[in-house]
Amino acid sequence: MNQMIWVVLLPFLGSVVCLLVHRKLVFALAMAASLGTLAVAAGLVAHVWEHAGARVELGGWAAPLGIALQLDGLAALFLLLTAVVGVLVGIYAGSFFAQTSELRPMGIHFWPLWLLLWGGLNGVYLCSDAFNAYVLLEISTLAAVGLTVLSGSTASLVAGLRYLLAAMFGSLMYLLGVALLYAGTGQLDFVLLSRSLTPQVHVVTAFGLMVFGLLLKSALLPFHFWLPPAHASAPAPVSAILSALVVKASFFLLLKIWFVVFDSLSGEGPGKMPGQLLGFLGSLAVVWGSFQAVRQWRLKSLIAYSTVGQLGYLFFIFPVLSFSHSPPHEALAWGGTVFHLFSHGLAKASLFLAAGCLLRAMGTDDLHAMRDIAGRMPVITFSLGVAGVSLMGLPPSAGFVAKWMLLRAVLASGQWWWAPVIVLGGLLTAAYVFKILAYTFVPSQGDAVRLQPVSLAMTFVPLALAMLCVLIGFRADEVILLLPAVPGCEMSAGGGGGP
């Protein structure tokens, strides 16, 4: 299973090569690295499908001393999502950064930073070591901040600095937790840590610090303040990457910390409280984020606030699983959460890229200016519509499957009080999606704005992402089978490489 390290090596190789070669070759080589990473990621999904997870000890040093890579169903699905979005955004970016002479120098910095970020994200998915996770989060954060400030404009600098400070603070809180755990147990490996933890004061403190840090980085409601300006002010391909992938990486780590490392702590009595709290913050995020999205008049701000709202759905898994450990809810909750990750990742990337096309064509992303866009840019409008349908959770899209599974999981676990939030969030989502679409159908009054031409690649990539988002809705069974019913058990048994 040594090839799993290639999902980290290939993007890094691409990044180094893109820095050094002539700028005419950069796009071709970056796409080669992207496609290679997609192929390896697909191979890893197939491996998990046919066999099981796997574990590789780097440098041949066994776990307490060295660092291991851990592949499981969840990691494989995240790798696949990142690779699919990465390749499509790459095709779009190749065309996007070639548009004008202002954008061309940005393209030179985009590729190395993006590939560095991609390698870091893939590293997070395979990570099995608490300190290593910190380093990977750092490399992803710094590369993501670099991408945010790509344009060098004052708005993006303010947003990027706020993002950097929030994310750094989150990382340091996480690191403080790791330090406490290491001082208490002398372990850093996730599986070894989970075996040696007992509910003591320092362990609970470490749990709180690590979860707090990761929540800050995943932009759950009270900590979402950095997200909308950063995601709205970045260039379109960067916004797509940040919204679809980067916030998900810290959420992935949160899942691992919660359900693998600290699994023994949650469950009974007071152990239910953190889960309920996260569910509560998640429902606040769903309502508040979606409500703010409805109030926006700039398309990119609207989509960014929609991310705040949609991220809230991811946090229902914590109350559902901390309440009861019975397999049917668990499969539903995992399936719903992962499906939501997929559908939101693909739909949000599609929306941001479509917004980039509109911004290019009209010169502004003000909703009022979008008159008669439906008639003049039908493909873009169609992508906006299809991606919007998935966000709303209408059948047959992946968004529908996700919300349906989440709803059933919530009801089956006996926590009916989350159900109205899920439904209300869907309605608010419908409100802002229709707000976008309504303006595209308003007929133009007299002299319409002259539209700049948008290249074919930029037109059809958002459509491809939106279509994928619908199509994946039909593959629900496979995704659920890939997911571990009880990830903690599978991980400690998986691969046979554990000490």
Partner 1 sequence: MNLTLLFDVFLIAALLLVSWRLLGASDLFQATVLFISFGLFLSLAWIRLQAPDIALAEAAVGAGLAGVLLLGTFKGLEPEEDREGENLSSEACRLDPISPCPGRAHLLLAFTFVGSMTALLLLAVLDLPAEGDGLTLLVFQSLDRSGVEHPVTAVLLNFRFYDTWLELGVLVAAALSILCVRNRLDLRELRPSKVPDVMLRRLVMGLTPIMILVVVYLLWLGDHAPGGAFQAGVVLAAMLILLWFSGHASITSLSRILWLFSLIAGFAMMLLAAVITASWPEMRPLEFAEEWSGAIILAIEVAATLSIGVVLSSLAILSLGAVED
Nearer to partner 1, 4 or 405 (CB): 4
Placement of tokens 């590369």 in the chain: 143
C-beta separation of 332 from 235 below 8 A: no
C-alpha angle with apex 55: 53 to 56, nearest 5 degrees? 145
Q: How far is CA 178 from CA 8, 71, 127, 265, 431, in A?
A: 23, 22, 14, 16, 42
List 29, 42, 158, 424, residue binding partner 1 (CB under 8 A): 158
Count residues near partner 1 (CB under 8 A): 61
By C-beta, is 123 or 425 nearer to partner 1? 123
Min CB(206)–partner 1 separation in Å: 7
Q: Is 372 in the site for partner 1 (CB under 8 A)?
A: no
- Half-sphere exposure of 299 toward its Cβ, with a 13 Å CA cutoff? 31
- 120 contacts partner 1 (rule: CB under 8 A): yes
Go through 218-244 and write b for each residue having 16 or more CB atoms within 10 A of its CB, e for each that does not: bbbbebbebbbbbbbbbbbbbbbbbbb
242 binds partner 1 (CB under 8 A): no
Stretch that binds partner 1, among 5-13, 213-221, 339-347, 353-361 (CB under 8 A): 5-13
User: Residue 296 interacts with partner 1 (CB under 8 A)?
Assistant: no
C-alpha of 198 from chain center: 32
234 binds partner 1 (CB under 8 A): no
- How far apart are the C-alpha atoms of 136 and 82, rounded to whole Å? 15
Q: Is 132 in the site for partner 1 (CB under 8 A)?
A: yes
Each residue 183-222 as x (binds partner 1 by CB under 8 A) or -, in order, gives xxxx-------------xxx--xx-x--------------
Q: How far is the CB of 96 from partner 1 (least distance, A)?
A: 16
Is 126 near partner 1 (CB under 8 A)? no
Selected from 7, 13, 454, 465, the binder of partner 1 by CB under 8 A is 13
Is residue 66 near partner 1 by the rule CB under 8 A? Answer: yes
Contact with partner 1 (CB under 8 A): which of 152, 363, 378, 396? 152
Q: Does 116 bind partner 1 (CB under 8 A)?
A: yes
Tell me the closest approach of the beta carbon of residue 64 to partner 1, in angstroms.
6
Applying CB under 8 A, does 139 fall inside the site for partner 1? yes
Structure tokens of 49? 């499908």
**Residue 104 or 325 with smaller CB distance to partner 1:** 104
| Closest listed residue to residue 83, CA positions, set 50, 119, 55 | 119
How is residue 332 written in tokens? 């539903």
Asked if residues 225 and 217 have their Cβ atoms less than 8 Å apart, the reply is: no
Nearer to partner 1, 207 or 339 (CB): 207
Q: Of 12-20, 381-389, 408-416, 481-489, which part binds partner 1 (CB under 8 A)?
A: 12-20
CB nearer partner 1, residue 115 or residue 422: 115
Report how far residue 356's alpha carbon sits from residue 103's, in angstroms, rounded to the nearest whole number. Answer: 13
Q: Can residue 136 be called a binding residue for partner 1 (CB under 8 A)?
A: yes
- Do the beta carbons of residue 278 and residue 318 sit within 8 Å? yes
Residue 396: count of CB within 10 angstroms of its CB: 13
Q: Kindly state whether residue 395 participates in binding partner 1, applying the rule CB under 8 A.
A: no
105 binds partner 1 (CB under 8 A): yes
Q: Which is nearer to partner 1, 185 or 413 (CB)?
A: 185
Q: Is 496 left (phi over 0), alpha (psi -120 to 50) or beta?
A: left
Q: Is 109 or 298 the residue whose CB approaches partner 1 more closely?
A: 109
d(CA 436, CA 380) in angstroms, rounded, equals 12
State how far the Cα of 77 lies from the Cα of 44, in Å rounded to an integer.
9
By beta-carbon proximity to partner 1, the closer residue of 44 and 206 is 206
Task: Give DSSP secondary structure letters for 79-134.
Answer: HHHHHHHHHHHHHHHHHHTTSSTTHHHHHHHHHHHHHHHHHHHHHHHHB-BHHHHH
Distances (CA, A) of 362 to 168, 341, 407: 36, 31, 40
Contacts of partner 1 in 19-58 (CB under 8 A): 19-20, 56-58
146 in contact with partner 1 (CB under 8 A): yes
**How far apart are CB 145 and partner 1 at their closest, in Å?**
6
Listed ranges 26-34, 61-69, 395-403, 474-482: which one lies at the site for partner 1 (CB under 8 A): 61-69
Chain residues binding partner 1 by CB under 8 A are: 2-3, 5-6, 9, 12-13, 16, 19-20, 56-61, 64-67, 105-106, 108-109, 112-113, 116-117, 119-120, 123, 131-132, 135-136, 138-139, 142-143, 145-146, 149-150, 152, 157-158, 161-162, 176, 180, 182-186, 200-202, 205-206, 208
